[in-house]
Structure 1
Amino acid sequence: MIYEANSDVKKKLFPIFKGINDTMILSCLQGYMGKAYVDNIEKPTAAEIIVGVFVFFAGDEKAKAAGELLNNLPEDCFVVASTVGWKSSIEEIHKGHADKFQRYAFKKDIKYLNYDHIKSFLSTLPEGYELRKVDKAIAYDKSFHEVSEDFTAQFNSIDDYLNRGIGFCILHEGKVVCGASSYSIYDNGIEIEIDTHPGYRRQGLATVAAAGLILDCLDRGIYPSWDAANLISVHLAEKLGYVMEGPYDTYHIVDRQPESLK
């Protein structure tokens, strides 16, 4: 049997997840968003964190409830595990439904983010486009959500996003065509989400939107964390000053038909 962790139990999970350097884990364990599940309330040995479509496993992959944790997934999700043992179990239980690929982590150190360098990209915005901080009018605008539902999806409501989140977007002819926003939040920072409307890509808009968001975070004294899903995102991050730490295994699991551990 598995149990949903309350705030007290979450405090016990920091050592278990120490091996995974992802801010979404902090978002959950610090009580901002997401859910955590454990094999034992009093003394958890295996644990799972779910924030949106991202799932993280850590602890003892041989625990009695490990199989149940591994079957406790959203319909379409991205799974990260801390050990070879967890990865082997993921591949066994979700065989035929787990597509393994590489995401890319970056060093989380503000010293790499040069304010003036990042600010220089603001002047590259093409004529006819406008960089705007997300306000109530934009947050409720249909075009903002058409670019990406993930800008606000992890918040309780749009008003909650306006109260706790941060976003910058680029407008063209009155519509949002690109945005950089807080996918998730934690004590001292945010996890960045960037998306551009398909018809407006390859114009440098994402660079400008990201620069606006990063500068705002630096002004606030919080860290704008970047984690890349592909090499395009890697190159954009490096252009802005981020330094890559390295790739890590991720599983995209969809249309799953869970099987029990053998």
Structure 2
Amino acid sequence: MIYKANADVRNKLETMFAPIDSTIILSCLQGHMGTAYVDNLENPTVAQITVGIFVFFAGDANTKEAEEMLYNIPEFTLAIVDSEEWKNRIESIHSGWEKFQRYRFEKNSNHFNRMHLQNVLSSLPTRYELMKVDTHIANEPAFHELSEDFVSVFDSIQDFINRGIGYAILYESKVVCAATSYSIYDEGIEIEIATHPQHRRKGLAKVAASALILDCLERGFYPSWDGANLESAELAKKLGYILKESYDTYFIDGRKSCTI
């Protein structure tokens, strides 16, 4: 049996998840968003953290509770683990999985050149407008069509307005690009960014991300970037991020998975 972890239990999981460098984990452990599960409330030996579609597993992978947790996932899941035992368990339990690489970056605010980021803002093409995401933009259908994950981890749009940060680029009053806080943690945010296909290759993502990064630095927050693909990783480098490593990520289609 697995149990939902309260704040006291989450405090016991920091060491277990320490090998996985992810601010999304911190979002849950620090109580901002997401849910944690454990096998034992007093002395957990295996644990799961779920924040949106991201799911992290740690501890003893070879237990009945670990198997139960591996089924306790969203319909579409990005699973991240830090051991061969967990990878083997995922691959043996689930049939609907695909493994791909994501890209981590060093987390150091000193890597950013603020003058460079300010110069990027001035490169916005004509007829485009950069705006901070407010309640009006956050309710626009075009904003959500770009990415369901701009605000999905927050309790509501108003919760995002209260606790999150975002910048959007509009073309003829329609949102065509945006960069927002996918998640938040004590020291900063995790960035989510997307551009409409018809408006790509114009530097819009670079402009929106620069605005978001500068806002975070002004607030004393760290704008964490975790690249979903090589294109995202290359954009991050242009903004000042320094690549740390690539790592395995599992996309799990729960509809294709076996049953216990």
TM-score, length basis structure 2: 0.97
Alignment of 1:210-249 (within 5 A): 210-249=209-248
Deviations 1:183-225 (Å, cap 9, x if unpaired)? 0000010000000111111111000000000000000000000
Instruction: Give unmatched runs, 5+ long, in structure 1.
Output: none
Structure 1: how far apart are the matches of 2:11 and 2:258?
30
Q: Is residue 71–residue 258 contact of structure 1 (8 Å, CA) maintained in 2? A: no
Deviations 1:69-124 (Å, cap 9, x if unpaired)? 111111011000121100110010013x1101100100111111111111110111
AA in 2 matched with 1:57: F
Structure 2: how far apart are the matches of 1:105 and 1:256?
29
The offset of 1:257, in angstroms, is 2.3
Structure 1: how far apart are the matches of 2:42 and 2:57?
18
The offset of 1:23, in angstroms, is 0.4
* Residues 1:7 and 2:2 are matched in the alignment: no
The offset of 1:57, in angstroms, is 0.5
The offset of 1:238, in angstroms, is 0.1
The offset of 1:259, in angstroms, is 4.5
Deviations 1:114-139 (Å, cap 9, x if unpaired)? 11111110111000101111112211
AA in 2 matched with 1:210: A
AA in 1 matched with 2:236: A
AA in 2 matched with 1:71: Y
Q: CA RMSD in A?
A: 1.0
Structure 2: how far apart are the matches of 1:144 and 1:259?
36
Structure 1: how far apart are the matches of 2:115 and 2:75?
43
Q: Which residue does the alignment assign to 2:89? A: 89
Work out the number of aligned pairs and report it.
259
Structure 2: how far apart are the matches of 1:207 and 1:257?
38
Alignment of 1:40-55 (within 5 A): 40-55=40-55
Q: Which residue does the alignment assign to 1:204? A: 203
* Residues 1:250 and 2:217 are matched in the alignment: no
Structure 2: how far apart are the matches of 1:258 and 1:13?
29
Instruction: Give unmatched runs, 5+ long, in structure 2.
Output: none
Structure 2: how far apart are the matches of 1:64 and 1:137?
47
TM-score, length basis structure 1: 0.97
